[in-house]
């Protein structure tokens, strides 16, 4: 007996539609997973770096406000780790990492009379951003009232997790 396309077209059509429906159902969860998170290629490292640095500068200016500080902190995870040798040698992420930075930065908020910073170098990839910047600052130290002067370069390595900074490693004199 010979197979006849015309007499079996209805069966063929049902089989193809069933196969297509099952294929789409099988691929749907994969598509949803792919849409949940931007890939590393989709993350705008350049834009994020510029916005982060501008927010940092805003938190250091002479007339910095609590809102400026909160804007900067919005770039960080709640459990951000912070290391600034030799003052802080632990870079582990802590549940209260952002709260600890908020407390420390609030203490020094608006303690500069003059402040400028220029981003001099940047590189990024693989969920890491490196920035190098030069800072010139003058102010009064809140602990002892003495004049502080800074004119130095700093280097930071920022680890990125879900579009936010999760670890900051700060290197400067």
Q: How many helices (H) and strands (E) does the chain have?
A: 4, 5
pLDDT tens digits for 1-56? 565 655 655 554 555 455 444 555 555 554 444 455 555 558 999 999 999 999 99
Residue 143, C-beta contacts closer than 8 angstroms, at least 6 positions apart: none
- DSSP lists the bridge partners of residue 140 as 147
User: Residue 88: what pLDDT?
Assistant: 82
Q: What is the pTM of this model?
A: 0.75
Task: Report the candidate in 79, 81, 53, 57 with the shortest Cα–Cα distance to residue 68.
Answer: 57
For CA atoms 157, 158, 160, 166, the dihedral sign is positive
């Amino acid at each position: 007996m010979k197979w006849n396309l015309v007499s079996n077209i209805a069966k063929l059509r049902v089989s193809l539609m069933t196969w297509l429906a099952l294929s789409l159902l099988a691929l749907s969860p994969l598509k949803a997973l792919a849409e949940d998170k931007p890939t590393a290629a989709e993350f705008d490292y350049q834009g994020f770096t510029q916005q982060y640095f501008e927010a940092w500068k805003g938190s250091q200016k002479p007339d910095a406000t609590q809102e400026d500080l909160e804007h900067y902190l919005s770039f960080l995870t709640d459990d951000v780790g912070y290391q600034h040798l030799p003052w802080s040698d632990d870079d582990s992420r802590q549940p209260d990492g952002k709260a600890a930075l908020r407390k420390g930065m609030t203490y020094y908020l608006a303690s500069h009379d003059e402040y400028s910073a220029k981003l001099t170098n940047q590189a990024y990839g693989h969920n890491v951003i490196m920035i190098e910047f030069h800072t010139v600052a003058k102010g009064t130290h809140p602990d002892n009232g003495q004049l502080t002067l800074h004119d130095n370069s700093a280097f930071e390595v920022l680890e990125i997790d879900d579009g936010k900074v999760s670890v900051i490693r700060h290197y400067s004199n």
